[in-house]
Structure 1
């Protein structure tokens, strides 16, 4: 077995989820990731925890989605019961076909998302982590050879996470007592939002492996302006290109896309919370240096900002502030590498992708 897979499993059960003796652990891994699943079971066994495996093949899920009547879609009560008895949830992504869910009716997918929200809420109560195994389908979408993609994945994962945390802590300090964030990129992105009272989180790969961002939640009704997401985003197996949003009083009042605008409309139409921003994230993992159509990596890229429509993470919400609730959480990326800046309370803290605390920053 590739020693990098062993190291990956070790990080997942120690650094990310702190698996303890007697913990009930769910490992949700697809057939495309057998080596990592095996290594995880070994590490879980060494720690005296109790694993159970799940697999939800995308092809089988598509067959179900096409066969079921939308009026018969209900929450999986047995899945909720399992999650409620789970201490640790480890989710592994790997695909032989990243477009398996392409072409499904967005309204049907909204119905699935809505009924699954209680399960999502229960998962947030676990010690959880999501990660990527370098499968051939993901490599193909990233336009890399399989071995090249594996190197890319493990370069982003095999890091000094203590050092990464210290680097990111400098941005956390800036956002800690901030009121307003202003983001400008080119001629098409000019958006402001309040983060007053909310908590900036230093993502050193506890819930995501790889980590490498600082994120928080805007006050839901505070987002104003326009955003052009110049990186594609995948939705229902389809590629949304050139998504643009206009906000007033925190809600999307206009939306469009150069490609698959109907999928974007379906995401926004999931519920009322999907019209508002639940997360502001700023990428800081410099070992993720290219776009790969995989949000687990892409949102962590240095020189990027992402906004997520929908659910806000509870850990970001300050006392007395409102948490945006939704059955969806869809991240979308703005390239900040040129003709761009981030202001916090009127002070520029990043220009053209370089932070104020990095060499090369220009006022």
Structure 2
């Protein structure tokens, strides 16, 4: 009974806080077929708040794997035009997008990495116009996660499948603030707390950030006019939504050409059905000039080589080491969760909302503002309990932002 109650509250949270559906709005839900019971609850809540249409796009990982193992080579250089057109049409009509991210971290470990890289690039190119809506918050979008057998067993390999799923549900409900009496009110308070930290960072208008831990040593410039954002976003109609549930981050963009030093990962990165782990990136004038990886080096190299912009950073996000997600002491092998348990950077495109008048920057003119453009945007985790971050203002004042992995203010 408690599980069903929490499941229903989680679905309601995704609808009312995640995408915050308004009367007459269309919602597209993208979900693995395993998550159907949850999607049905989402559908009911969406219609109850006035949604006009709820479209479901199902996926099946076993079918995905079979395609990678059996389809002809040329199929991975194409992406269905009707899919990208559907996304853009919904976005133009003011619709919203809810993605249920529950990937098997090892799904494609036995697949030729070049096939994966080809399809990642083909899909990124096909969805470029749609991503321009999500990267600039011109439409509402949100990501949540649901346990699947493969994902749960990756996290909890030493228990039965049913117990692994139960343990993962428990963690998801806790991290998403679902267990309390009123999750929606809890998220309102959480967003307000994140906003206070966001406002502090915007008031200081830092010129540079210095990240220092036992391994990482990075100096990062921030572009003039940069804007810090937090958990809640706002669509063109002034309607709030939460792109990530859960979220603990306050984020902005680095200057494309002003990142120098070396950064080490602190959690595994799941990308393209493969795990990349224990890796480092060395930057000079913003560009990756060297990298290492104990696991997934080939996959990491192909990610970096997606295009010119994937050699640069597009996001810097601050997340305290002590947070509901980090306190679980679970490595989730899921970027939605792991990135919200750790400070992180992102390879690839910046969010245009992270710079003043970003929506007025035309394609091809981003460089002169220090804004990175790319077909991809992939977060990777760099936070640790010994991470110290110092911001320097344009007046030369140095202010401690993080001390020993947590907020210093």
* Cα distance change, pair 318–62 in 1 and its aligned pair in 2 (3 A): farther
Q: Which runs of 5+ in 1 are unaligned?
A: 358-363
Does residue 1:341 correspond to 2:388, yes or no?
Answer: yes
Deviations 1:201-250 (A, max 9, x none): 11147101111111111111111111111322122322222111110110
The answer for the alignment partner of 1:329 in structure 2 is: 377
* Cα distance change, pair 94–259 in 1 and its aligned pair in 2 (3 A): closer
Does residue 1:54 correspond to 2:57, yes or no?
Answer: yes
Q: Distance in 1 between matches of 2:89 and 2:201?
A: 36
The answer for the alignment partner of 1:109 in structure 2 is: 116
Task: After TM superposition, list the pairs within 5 Å mapping 1:216-235 onto structure 2.
Answer: 216-235=252-271
**TM-score, L = length of structure 1:** 0.91
Residues 343, 383 of structure 2: 8 Å contact kept: yes
Instruction: Report how far residue 81 of structure 1 moved.
Output: 1.5
Does residue 1:140 correspond to 2:144, yes or no?
Answer: no
Residues 103, 236 of structure 1: 8 Å contact kept: no
SS in 1 for 2:59: coil
Instruction: Report how far residue 256 of structure 1 moved.
Output: 0.9
Deviations 1:98-137 (A, max 9, x none): 3222233333323222222342541414311111012332
The answer for the alignment partner of 1:93 in structure 2 is: 101
Q: Distance in 2 between matches of 1:270 and 1:103?
A: 21
Residues 260, 284 of structure 2: 8 Å contact kept: yes
Question: Does 40-49 or 170-179 show the bigger shift?
Answer: 170-179
Instruction: Report how far residue 65 of structure 1 moved.
Output: 3.1
Deviations 1:229-287 (A, max 9, x none): 13221223222221111101100000111122111111101111110011111124711
Q: Distance in 2 between matches of 1:21 and 1:174?
A: 35
SS in 2 for 1:116: helix
Say which of 210, 219, 222 aligns to 1:192: 219
Deviations 1:311-359 (A, max 9, x none): 2122213346343122222211123202x300111221111122122xx
Residues 267, 338 of structure 2: 8 Å contact kept: no
Task: After TM superposition, list the pairs within 5 Å mapping 1:244-255 onto structure 2.
Answer: 244-255=280-291
Instruction: Report how far residue 54 of structure 1 moved.
Output: 0.5
Instruction: Report how far residue 190 of structure 1 moved.
Output: 0.5
SS in 1 for 2:294: coil
Q: Distance in 1 between matches of 2:197 and 2:65?
A: 41
Residues 5, 35 of structure 1: 8 Å contact kept: no
The answer for the alignment partner of 1:174 in structure 2 is: 200
SS in 2 for 1:258: strand
Instruction: Report how far residue 28 of structure 1 moved.
Output: 1.0
Say which of 141, 165, 173 aligns to 1:128: 141
Deviations 1:42-99 (A, max 9, x none): 012213321111112122223333413237622321001211222111111235x432
Does residue 1:287 correspond to 2:324, yes or no?
Answer: yes
SS in 2 for 1:300: helix
Q: Distance in 2 between matches of 1:48 and 1:293?
A: 35
**TM-score, L = length of structure 2:** 0.81
Q: Distance in 2 between matches of 1:98 and 1:349?
A: 33
* Cα distance change, pair 105–2 in 1 and its aligned pair in 2 (3 A): same
Q: Distance in 1 between matches of 2:172 and 2:128?
A: 26
Q: Distance in 2 between matches of 1:147 and 1:250?
A: 43
How many residues in Structure 1 have an aligned counterpart in Structure 2?
A: 352
* Cα distance change, pair 112–318 in 1 and its aligned pair in 2 (3 A): farther
Q: Distance in 2 between matches of 1:113 and 1:72?
A: 8
Residues 76, 118 of structure 2: 8 Å contact kept: no
Residues 252, 354 of structure 2: 8 Å contact kept: yes
Q: Specify which structure has the higher proportion of helix.
A: 2
Q: Which runs of 5+ in 2 are unaligned?
A: 178-182, 233-240, 362-368, 393-397
- Structure 1 runs, 4 residues or longer, greater than 6 Å off: none
